[in-house]
A and B are shown apart, each in its own frame.
Chain A
Amino acid sequence: MSTRDWLLDDSPATLTQANLGRAWRMMTALMRNPLAVAGLLIILLLLATALFAPWIAPESPVGQNLQARLLPPSAEHWMGTDELGRDIFSRVVYGSRITLMIVALVAVISAPLGLIIGAVAGYFGGWVDRILMGLTDVFLSLPKLILALAFVAALGPGIENAIIAIAITAWPAYARIARAETLTFRNAEYIQAVRLVGGSHTRIITRHVLPLCTSSMIVRVTLDMAGIILTAAGLGFLGLGAQPPLPEWGAMISRGRTFILDQWWVATMPGFAIILVSLGFCFLGDGLRDVLDPKQGGEK
């Protein structure tokens, strides 16, 4: 029996086989979507770039060479050099690490936070719901970037504080989704059945409610990655995110705007990087939605 047959077996012999088979079916469904594959490749490219940055980048991201200031793209400097003679390609490559770190940390902080708050609010309802959703509404009513700005202003500029600020502004949307999702099945018979066999609320929320919310959450977080990158870049652009000489893409654009008319590449090259990575996350998110969202028929 080949591995494929084993994975697609209608009557799995163990729980592992059943779960692997399920994952395999999702993978193949995802692979049938060309845009999702393109997105996945872009993300993999980003991961590889971040991982192997020292080997890919031809020069140091912070090494200055004032004799080679503002050189246009050429065979020697693929993306040209900036106002301090630093190789922009090297900076973009190293910048992928910062971008990836921002995206990953924001997702790790805000998605579980929003998920739990939303699931608890939706599951218990009543005053728990009113308090938690009131809090969520307060955060939602403020524009994301402005709120992030306020937090960074309070916490002080820097990449860590930018991450915390973005995470704090990102969770309310997830809490809303998780709550809406939870409301649709909080009275479902399979949840009542767990209560009947004596399952505690904690058990029901963690084992039964959260797994049903995660798929829409994964989709939403992936789609939001682009927004997170843009917010981080926006904070960097305003000088409140990563501080020089860190090669953060938004900060690089900000520095390049002084030369945008005569030396277009200084601002444009990191801009391309932001667009490419954002697109990658969007494509992957759309593909994942088709596969994971049961309401769109991905389940059968």
Chain B
Amino acid sequence: MSSPESSQAAISLKDLDISYGDTKVVRDVSFDVATGESFALVGESGSGKSTVLKAIAGLAPDWTGEISVLGKPRGHGTDRAFSETCQMVFQDPYASLHPRKTIDTVLSEPLAIHGIGKRSEKVVEMLGAVGLDQRFRFRFPHQLSGGQRQRVAIARALMLEPKVMLLDEPTSALDVSVQAEILNLLKRLRREQGLTYLMVTHNLPVVSFMCDRMAVMNKGRIVEIAPKTALYDGSFADPYTRDLYAASGGNPDADPEGTASHLKDPA
């Protein structure tokens, strides 16, 4: 595990406040994610964790503070140059693919926007990388299952070869066995392509499987930043975090029915 001090931060947030209209939903969030690290944002629904991702991606433009990605300060909207360094995978694979476009169109579009050639070869290659058979290439999203759709969404995010991936609960809309496949895929892709992950989840076993460190959010604030080892010994400092840990059933590897029992590293 690399610490933020020893290498350049992939994502750096300083005093970030985010509002939707007049409502401030995130206050005073600061943390650094090191290059190559996998960092989790944990918290209950409505704690503002997805909003942090959206602000980094440029989809929640109403923020104050500082956001920088790979050393470059972020603007408030989406922009083309940024899209080559950082991409996002959404929560619901049923809502994140255009219903009238084939998989091929979805995957070639980022290349077309950035004027990159050899689209056909790249699409074929990427389908292979995310473990989708070539026969899915010209299907429409309604002809795919949830897990297959999420693979397409991951493939779309990777088409521009970004270094930083924002994952917004990428498995919570999927059923348990498929969750494990997608998590294994994400883990393998990170290893193969040296990606940095910032992952939002409310599932502690997923954190222990995927991530090096975690930040716990409650009511729009970060209450604690802890290493993943805290999940094994329960050494959390903040009372809210301890409650959350207890509510999730303590040590995830001792949890016989949770997601953890389905997760096995394919290596």
User: Which A residues lie at the B interface, using CB under 8 A?
Assistant: 10-15, 17-18, 22, 188-190, 192-199, 203, 207-208, 211-212, 294, 299-300
Chain B CB within 10 Å — which of A13, A192, A207 has the most? A192
Which single member of A12, A15, A212 contacts B105 (CB below 8 Å)?
A: A15
Nearest chain B residue, comparing its CB with the CB of A214: B100
Give B residues with C-beta under 8 Å from A: 57-59, 78-80, 82-84, 87-88, 90-92, 95-100, 102, 104-105, 109-110, 113-114, 135-136, 138-140, 142-143, 153, 156, 159-160
Majority DSSP secondary structure for residues of B touching A:
loop
A294–B140 alpha-carbon span in the complex (Å): 14
B78 and A196 within 8 A (CB): yes
Q: Is the interface of A mostly helix, strand, loop or mixed?
A: helix
Q: Which of A13, A193, A211, A299 has the most CB of B within 10 A?
A: A193
Q: How far is the CA of A283 from the CA of B229 in the complex (A)?
A: 67
**A18 contact from B57, B98, B102, Cβ within 8 A:** B102
A189 touches B92 (CB 8 A): yes
Contacts of B99 on A, CB cut-off 8 Å?
Answer: 190, 212, 294, 299
With contacts A212-B99, A299-B142 known, is A193 near B156, CB below 8 A?
yes
Residue pair A198, B78 in contact (C-beta under 8 Å): yes
- B96: chain A residues within 8 A (beta carbon): 189-190, 193
Decide: B80 and A17 in contact? CB cutoff 8 A: no
Contacts A189-B96, A196-B59; is A300 near B138 (CB within 8 Å)?
A: no
Given A193-B90, A196-B59, A12 and B98 contact (CB-CB distance below 8 Å): no
Closest beta carbon of chain B to A294's beta carbon, Å: 7
With a cutoff of 8 Å between Cβ atoms, the chain A residues found around residue B140 in the complex are 18, 22
Whether B139 pairs with A10 at a CB distance below 8 angstroms is: yes
Q: Which B residues touch A203, using CB under 8 A? A: 113
Smallest CB separation, A173 vs chain B (Å): 23
A76 → chain B closest CB, angstroms: 55
Q: How far is the CA of A196 from the CA of B114 in the complex (A)?
A: 12
How far, in Å, is B150 (CB) from chain A's closest CB?
Answer: 12
Give the chain A neighbours of B160 by CB distance below 8 A: 197
Closest chain B residue to A200, Cβ basis: B113
Residue of A18, A189, A208, A299 near B139 (CB, 8 A) is A18
A199 and B109 form a contact (CB under 8 A): yes
Question: In the docked arrangement, what's the CA distance between A194 and B153, Å?
Answer: 11
Collect the chain A residues with CB atoms within 8 Å of residue B102's CB. 15, 18
With the chains together, A12 CA to B99 CA distance in Å?
Answer: 17
Contact B135–A197 (Cβ < 8 Å) = no
Please state if A12 and B59 are interface contacts (CB–CB under 8 Å).
Answer: no
Beyond the given pairs A190-B95, A195-B59, 9 more chain A to chain B contacts, judged by CB atoms under 8 angstroms and listed by A's residue number, are A10-B135, A10-B143, A11-B138, A17-B138, A18-B140, A190-B98, A193-B90, A212-B98, A299-B142
